[in-house]
Amino acid sequence: MPNYYAMVHTGDRKLVVEAFQRAETWNVRKSAWDEYEAQSSIGELEIQSESPVLINGSIVPNGFEQINEIVGSTEFRWTAELYDDDGNCSKRVGSEPT
């Protein structure tokens, strides 16, 4: 499965977690003292750290854009990358705040 990596430039991880909670297809739970896990049929992601918030995990090949829509809904500056099974970056996108 491809690997998804993203950085959301905010010091408030809770806002990123809430964006995944609002998306009806994602189940989000706290997985450690300061980390969250988001699961759906699209993939399994870890949401961790702050300043920036880091998101990473395995996703289905066509899930990249769907996850970016959720990340983009936070209205913070963000960047995301998709890596294939060989570790090559196959997609890279970013956004500026609205």
What are the sequence ranges of the domains in the chain? Answer: 3-95
* pLDDT reading at 18 higher than 50: yes
pLDDT higher at 95 or 59: 59
| C-alpha to C-alpha distances, 6 to 11, 53, nearest whole angstrom | 14, 8
Cα–Cα distance measured from residue 11 to residue 86, given in angstroms and rounded to the nearest whole number? 32
Q: What is the DSSP letter of 61?
A: G
The architecture that CATH gives domain 3-95 is 2-Layer Sandwich (3.30)
Task: Check whether 80 has a pLDDT greater than 50.
Answer: yes
Query: Quick one: pLDDT at residue 98?
Result: 47
**pLDDT at residue 45 tops 90:** yes
**Residue 26, H or E segment:** none
Mean residue pLDDT across the chain: 93
Is the model's pTM score more than 0.75? yes
